[in-house]
Amino acid sequence: MLVRRQVSRLVTSTVRHKMKYDYLKNFGTITQKKATV
Q: Which DSSP symbol is given to 1? A: -
| pTM of the predicted protein model | 0.55
For residue 20, the tally of other CB atoms under 10 A from its CB is: 10
> In the prediction, which pLDDT does 35 show?
75
> In the prediction, which pLDDT does 34 show?
79
Angle at 33 between CA 19 and CA 22, to 5 degrees: 10
> In the prediction, which pLDDT does 37 show?
63
How many structural domains does the chain have?
1
Distance between CA 27 and CA 36 in Å, rounded?
14
> In the prediction, which pLDDT does 24 show?
92
- Report yes or no on 4 lying in a domain: yes
Domain of 20, in residue numbers? 1-30
> In the prediction, which pLDDT does 18 show?
95
- pLDDT one-digit tens code per residue, 1-37: 688 999 999 999 999 999 999 999 999 888 888 777 6
